[in-house]
């Protein structure tokens, strides 16, 4: 099983080349449970099977039921649109079994990942000491960062390690932060937003009230740079003013919006991000990296090390048992709750190096530009209403007179016809159409087709 097989290699490579050349790839469709069960019935047995047969099961029955997130008209949730260079380099990682646990085992991979993290840190305006690691995504980043926020908060207040503490979040915070707080056993202090945006003023009022009311101390605040549903950026500067004045940990969830750091006009809106104690950016979203790639940065990585470094004798070798310098020998396992990990920052490193950061700036800007142009198109279309001016790349649209089921039926029709994958969302209690742009190659013609289908199919 472990020796090189020319025939097997060729077959898989042929498939890879075929997939890479599709431009665009087929959009894909929803799978049928019974059909899939049937297709997989004899897939794994005691005896070997010809690779060609197994590949055919994959290409004919499985692959078509995975919607292509790299199709330019994938506008649901938050799309992924890896560059070809990044996608190709992901294969290098896999074929080379590259791993990225520690400096001892993977210094070259870790050094390259850290170069990318440094680039993010510089764009965000974090200090020279800032650092972290790549994790599987925003959820893993939020969890890893908030453990450090909680434990550091307790430590600074002289509380014992089980003492109840609270973390302030807005009522618009990502669901993964809610999950995180439940996992951590930390009570949220939910701060109401006006116009879906956490402001310094609202935070100040909530913290003052919480202080007067007694209860567990608030040790950290989570701000969002680009809500997933609507792309709204919190008042980071105002929030940072409060966290700095009160010695609170500031975690900024920029999983989706962090890519805006690359575009000077958008960067303006992220003012205050430089005050983050921890920061999450998902390159597998608007930075065109393959799944699963989240970047996690700490202002002071020492604090993260104190919380995350795993203590097991078989790991002594990676933690400088020989007296090596911890600052230069960087172990990604010390900065999140993971241990074994692939160096998932490397495909992004390769693509950034190949294309240069100007190309990234332009591609990120293009998503915001198409969102703005779509907004103008919506305004000019009778029967459609723009619900909010897009701040990043999400456009929310009401089709006058539609009920929730109309939006869901429309979404299904669009996917079935191979036109686009657009899923409805809820905005202020109402089901609406939501278009999330990212792919730089989406055309205005496709956007027009999608908007027309909203109007025509009433
Ligand atoms: C997508 C997203 C997350 C979760 O990231 P995953 O990579 O899906 O785990 C968290 N916060 C925000 C704001 C997001 O947009």
Residue 446, C-beta contacts closer than 8 angstroms, at least 6 positions apart: 72, 73, 419, 420
Probe residue for ligand 1, chosen from 135, 176, 259, 285 as the CB with the greatest number of ligand atoms within 8 Å: 176
Residue 457 confidence (pLDDT): 63
Residue 458 confidence (pLDDT): 53
Atom of ligand 1 nearest to the CA of 294: 7
Residue bearing the CA closest to ligand 1, atom 5:
138
CA distance 125 to 111: 20
Residue 71 confidence (pLDDT): 96
Ligand 1 mean position, distance from CA 292 (Å): 11
Atom of ligand 1 nearest to the CA of 139: 9
Residue 325 confidence (pLDDT): 55
Length of the chain: 458
For residues 295 and 134, the answer to whether their CB atoms sit within 8 Å is: yes
Would you call 223 helix, strand, or coil by DSSP?
strand
Atom of ligand 1 nearest to the CA of 254: 13
For residues 89 and 109, the answer to whether their CB atoms sit within 8 Å is: no
Rg of the chain in Å (alpha carbons): 24
CA atoms within 13 A on the CB side of 109: 26
Nearest residue to 340 via CA among 97, 110, 99, 98 = 99
Would you call 119 helix, strand, or coil by DSSP?
helix
CA distance 104 to 49: 39
Residue bearing the CA closest to ligand 1, atom 4:
138
pTM of whole model > 0.85? yes
pLDDT in tens, 113-140: 999 999 999 999 999 999 999 999 999 9
For residues 455 and 382, the answer to whether their CB atoms sit within 8 Å is: yes
pLDDT in tens, 73-122: 999 999 999 999 999 999 999 999 999 999 999 999 999 999 999 999 99
Atom of ligand 1 nearest to the CA of 138: 5
Probe residue for ligand 1, chosen from 253, 295, 336 as the CB with the greatest number of ligand atoms within 8 Å: 253
The matching CATH number, chosen from 3.40.50.2300, 3.40.190.10, 3.90.1150.170, 3.40.50.800, for 357-456 is 3.90.1150.170
Residue 324 confidence (pLDDT): 54
CA distance 404 to 282: 30
Q: How far is CA 110 from CA 98, 296, 329, in A?
A: 11, 14, 9
Nearest residue to 220 via CA among 187, 268, 257, 258 = 187
Ligand 1 mean position, distance from CA 263 (Å): 20
Probe residue for ligand 1, chosen from 76, 223, 282 as the CB with the greatest number of ligand atoms within 8 Å: 282
Residue 318 confidence (pLDDT): 75
Q: Tell me which residue has tokens 């495909």.
A: 347
CA distance 169 to 221: 6
Q: How far is CA 30 from CA 66, 68, 89, 416, in A?
A: 7, 11, 29, 8
Ligand 1 mean position, distance from CA 106 (Å): 27
Long-range Cβ contact pairs of 94-99 (< 8 A, separation 24 or more): 98/342, 98/343, 98/346, 99/340, 99/341, 99/342, 99/343
Ligand 1 mean position, distance from CA 72 (Å): 20
E strand or H helix that includes residue 385: strand 384-386
Ligand 1 mean position, distance from CA 282 (Å): 7
The CATH 3.90.1150.170 portion of the chain extends over: 357-456
Ligand 1 mean position, distance from CA 294 (Å): 9
Distance of CA 40 to the CA centre of its chain: 31
For domain 91-355, the CATH class is alpha beta
Would you call 141 helix, strand, or coil by DSSP?
helix
pLDDT values of the chain reduced to their tens digit, one per residue, 458 residues: 999 999 999 999 999 999 999 999 999 999 999 999 999 999 999 999 999 999 999 999 999 999 999 999 999 999 999 999 999 999 999 999 999 999 999 999 999 999 999 999 999 999 999 999 999 999 999 999 999 999 999 999 999 999 999 999 999 999 999 999 999 999 999 999 989 999 999 999 999 999 999 999 999 999 999 999 999 999 999 999 999 999 999 999 999 999 999 999 999 999 999 999 999 999 999 999 999 999 999 999 999 999 999 887 777 777 766 655 567 899 999 999 999 999 999 999 999 999 999 999 999 999 999 999 999 999 999 999 999 999 999 999 999 999 999 999 999 999 999 999 999 999 999 999 999 999 999 999 999 999 999 998 65
Ligand 1 mean position, distance from CA 255 (Å): 5
Atom of ligand 1 nearest to the CA of 225: 13
Residue 172 confidence (pLDDT): 97
Ligand 1 mean position, distance from CA 176 (Å): 7
Q: Tell me which residue has tokens 């003052």.
A: 208
Residue bearing the CA closest to ligand 1, atom 3:
138
Beta strands, E only, 43-143: 131-135
CA atoms within 13 A on the CB side of 289: 30
Atom of ligand 1 nearest to the CA of 141: 9
Kindly list the protein residues whose Cβ atom lies closer than 6 A to any atom of ligand 1: 78, 137-139, 174, 176, 224, 228, 253, 255-256, 282, 294
CA distance 358 to 11: 37
Ligand 1 mean position, distance from CA 139 (Å): 6
Ligand 1 mean position, distance from CA 256 (Å): 7
User: How many CB atoms within 10 Å of residue 46?
Assistant: 4
CA distance 137 to 296: 9
Ligand 1 mean position, distance from CA 202 (Å): 24
The CATH 3.40.640.10 portion of the chain extends over: 91-355
For residues 336 and 298, the answer to whether their CB atoms sit within 8 Å is: no
Bridge partners of 39? none
């Amino acid at each position: 099983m472990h020796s090189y097989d020319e025939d097997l290699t060729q077959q898989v490579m042929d498939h890879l080349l075929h997939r890479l050349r599709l431009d665009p790839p087929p959009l894909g469709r929803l799978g049928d449970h019974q059909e899939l069960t049937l297709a997989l019935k004899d897939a794994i047995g005691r005896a070997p099977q010809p690779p060609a047969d197994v590949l055919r099961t994959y290409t004919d029955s499985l692959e078509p039921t995975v919607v292509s997130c790299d199709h330019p008209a994938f506008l649901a949730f938050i799309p992924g649109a890896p560059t070809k260079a990044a996608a190709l380099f992901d294969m290098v990682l896999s074929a080379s079994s590259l791993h990225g646990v520690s400096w001892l085992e993977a210094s070259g991979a870790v050094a390259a990942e850290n170069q990318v993290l440094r680039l993010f840190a510089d764009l965000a305006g974090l200090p020279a000491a800032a650092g972290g690691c790549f994790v599987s995504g925003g959820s893993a980043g939020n969890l890893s960062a908030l453990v450090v926020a909680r434990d550091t908060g307790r430590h600074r207040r002289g509380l014992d390690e089980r003492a109840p503490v609270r973390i302030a979040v807005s009522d618009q915070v990502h669901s993964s932060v809610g999950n995180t707080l439940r996992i951590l056993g930390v009570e949220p202090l939910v701060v109401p937003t006006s116009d879906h945006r956490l402001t310094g003023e609202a935070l100040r009022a909530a913290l003052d009230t919480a202080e007067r009311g007694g209860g567990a101390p608030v040790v950290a605040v989570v701000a969002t740079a680009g809500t997933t549903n609507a792309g709204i950026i919190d008042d980071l500067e105002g929030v940072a003013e409060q966290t700095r004045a009160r010695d609170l940990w500031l975690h900024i969830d920029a999983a989706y919006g962090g890519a805006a750091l690359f575009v000077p006009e958008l960067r303006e809106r992220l003012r205050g991000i430089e005050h983050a104690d921890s920061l999450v950016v998902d390159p597998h979203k608007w930075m065109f990296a393959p799944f699963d790639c989240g970047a996690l940065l700490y202002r002071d990585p020492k604090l993260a090390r104190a919380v995350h470094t795993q203590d097991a004798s078989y790991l002594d070798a990676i933690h400088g048992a020989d007296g090596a310098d911890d600052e230069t020998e960087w172990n990604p396992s010390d900065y999140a709750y993971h241990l074994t990990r692939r160096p998932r920052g490397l495909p992004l490193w390769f693509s950034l190096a190949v294309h240069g950061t100007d190309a990234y700036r332009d591609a990120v800007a293009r998503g915001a530009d198409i969102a703005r142009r779509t907004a103008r198109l919506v305004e000019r279309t009778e029967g459609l209403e723009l619900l909010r001016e897009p701040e990043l790349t999400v456009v929310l649209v009401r089709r006058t007179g539609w009920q929730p089921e109309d939006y869901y039926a429309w979404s299904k029709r669009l996917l079935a016809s191979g036109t686009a994958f657009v899923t409805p969302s809820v905005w202020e209690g109402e089901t609406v159409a939501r278009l999330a742009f990212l792919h730089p190659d989406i055309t205005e013609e496709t956007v027009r087709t999608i908007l027309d289908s909203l109007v025509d199919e009433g």
